[in-house]
Amino acid sequence: MQQIQAATQQLLPLMVQRVGSKAASIAEQIRESFILKQLLSPKEPKELTASLPQGFVKRLAVASTLPL
């Protein structure tokens, strides 16, 4: 989880600096690290998202829309 947090903190500066390829790479690593989503019940991802800081959820949503 700490690695995911560190990676998300790198995303915003990269997007501001318009380093899309590096930001996309980090976002993909974050997305791939969510192995938990394969192990959770249909209800649990919503509960997990609700428990995360809103800023994190927004950054992750933005990162997941970057072209690869």
The residues, ordered by sequence, that sit 6+ positions from 7 with a Cβ below 8 Å of its Cβ are: 26, 29, 30
Distance of alpha carbon 34 from the chain centroid: 9
List pLDDT tens digits, range 8-62: 888 888 888 888 888 888 888 888 776 555 677 788 878 888 888 888 888 878 7
So what's the pLDDT on residue 38? 64
What is the reported pLDDT for 4? Answer: 75
Cα separation, 34 vs 48, in Å, equals 12
pLDDT of residue 67: 66
Structure-token match 């919503």, residue found: 46
Residue 42's pLDDT is 81
Domain map (residue ranges) of the chain: 2-64
Structure confidence at residue 12 (pLDDT): 82
